[in-house]
Amino acid sequence: MPKSNAQQRALIVGAGIAGLASAWWLERAGWEVLVVEKAPSFRAGGYMIDFFGPGHEVARRMGLLSALEERRAPISSVTSVDSSGRRRGEISTAAYEAVADGVISLLRGDLAEVIRDDLRAPIRYGTTLSSVDDGRVVFSDGSSDEFDLVVGADGVHSKVRELVFGPSSLRYLGHHVAAFSFQDPVLSERIGYRYQMLTVPHRMVGCYAVRDGAMAALMLYRSDSPELPADPAAALRERFGDLGWVTPSLLSAVPQDVYYDEVSQVDMPVWHRGKVVLVGDACGAVSLFAGHGASLAMTGACVLAEELSAGFEGAFARYEARMKPAVEHTQEFGRRFIGWMAPASAWRISVRDLAFRLSGLPVVRNMIRGSLMPDVDGVLPRHRAS
C-alpha cells in the first residue's frame, strides 16, 4: 500500500503530450514528479495536429484552452489539387467547420509547450532508461533511483514497453510518413492557410502555411516494408521526385532532422505490470490515419491520474478499462481512413474529390463527418478537476 500521495514519487519517461499531461495531473494530485526525455532539448514545432474530442475537454479542465486558442492556426479548408496545382475538390469552409466542430489546429510542439509551461516538475533532457525493474530504474548516465510509479510515455517506439513487456507490439499499416516545416514566405503566401494536397495512387503530398512565413509539409506513401531508409531525404526524393505542383520546392527543403517513420499502431493485451504503466502512443498509438492520438494521450493522462487518486490498488486496471475501448475503436477507424488519405487508385481519388466538391450539401457533409470522426465520447473523464 502506498503511504500518502505527498510522499510518492513518479518517474515519467518521455516529454511528449502524454508525458507532460501525465506530469501535470500527477503533480496536482500531490505526487513528486520527475520527467526524463531522451531528446537533448524541448521538441518544438513539428507537424500540425487537429486537436478535438475528449482531449479538448481535458485541456479545458486544465485551464489551457485560451493558451491553445492563441496558437491556433487558421486552417480554413482542405483542398485536393492536381499536378498543375488546379483545384480538384475542396471541403468548403462551412462543411469543414461542421465536420471539425470545436477543432483547434496547431503544431504538436505548441500543444506540448503550453502544457510544459504550466508544469513545475523538472524535465531532465538527454536522458533515458537503461533498465527498469518494477520501480527501480537505471538511467542512461549510469545513475539509479527508486520510484513508486513509472509511467512510460515514450511514444510509438517505447523503450519502457520493450524493457518491461518485451518485443514490439506494432501493427504496421503499410505506409511511411514524413513531416517537416521550413521557412519560405513566398510559398507560404501562395499556399495560404488551406491544407492543400496532391494525391496519386498510394502517394500523397500535402502542405499549408503555418505562421510568420513558415510552411509545413506532409508526405505519405505506400511501402510493403516497415524498414526505414538510411537516408530519409533521399528516399523522399526518389518516391516523390516525379510529382509536379510545389513538390520540388518541398523536397528541396527537407531538413536533416525530418520526422520520418513507419505508420503503425500499438496493439497490446495489457498496459501495465507492477509499478509500470504506459500512456499515449506507447500503449495505444492510433496512427496519423485516425488523427486522435494527441487527444487520447491527454485523456489517458487525466484518466490515469483520476484512477490513482481513487486508490492505488487496481488503478491501472481501471484506467485501462476506461481507455482501451476508445483506443481500439479509434484504431479501427484509422484503418478504415487509409482509403481517404492515401487512396489506392485514380478512381478512388476521384470519388473522394467528388465528396469534397459536394461537401456543401448537408447529406454529404454528414457522410464526411461520419467518415472523419471516430466516436470516442464515452471516454470523457468522469470527474471534474477542482
Ligand X SMILES: Cc1cc2nc3c(=O)[nH]c(=O)nc-3n(C[C@H](O)[C@H](O)[C@H](O)COP(=O)(O)OP(=O)(O)OC[C@H]3O[C@@H](n4cnc5c(N)ncnc54)[C@H](O)[C@@H]3O)c2cc1C
Residues in contact with ligand X by CB under 6 A are 13-19, 36-39, 43, 47, 49-51, 108, 128, 153-155, 159, 177, 179, 218, 280-282, 288, 291-295, 297
Q: Please state the closest distance from residue 129 (CB atom) to ligand X, in A.
A: 6
The one-letter amino acid code at 292 reads H
> Which amino acid, residue 82?
D
**Contact predicate 75/192, CB 8 Å:** no
Minimum gap (Å) between residue 167 Cβ and ligand X: 16
Would you say the C-alpha torsion 332, 333, 334, 340 has a positive or negative sign? positive
Tell me how far, at minimum, the Cβ of 42 lies from ligand X, in Å: 9
Label residue 138 exposed, middle or buried (CB < 10 Å: 0-12, 13-18, 19+): middle
Residue placing its CB nearer to ligand X in the complex, 9 or 357: 9
C-alpha cell belonging to residue 134 = 518494477
Count of C-beta atoms within a 10 Å radius of residue 67: 17
- Amino acid at residue number 339: G
Q: Which is nearer to ligand X, 247 or 265 (CB)?
A: 265
CB nearer to ligand X: pick between 49 and 368: 49
Please say which residue, 89 or 155, places its beta carbon nearer to ligand X.
155
For ligand X, which is the closer residue by CB, 102 or 311? 102
Quote the least distance from Cβ 119 to ligand X, whole Å: 14
Dmax over CA atoms of the chain, in Å, equals 66
Which is closer to ligand X, CB of 37 or CB of 113?
37
3-state secondary structure of 184: coil
Q: Minimum Å distance from CB 47 to ligand X? A: 4
Task: Report which residue's Cβ sits closest to ligand X.
Answer: 293
Tell the smallest beta-carbon distance from residue 352 to ligand X (Å).
18
Beta-strand ranges (E) seen in 134-183 are 136-139, 144-146, 149-152, 170-183
Residues in CB range of 202: below 8 A, 6 or more apart: 221, 222, 342, 344
Q: Which residues on neighbouring strands pair with residue 10, listed in sequence order?
A: 33, 149
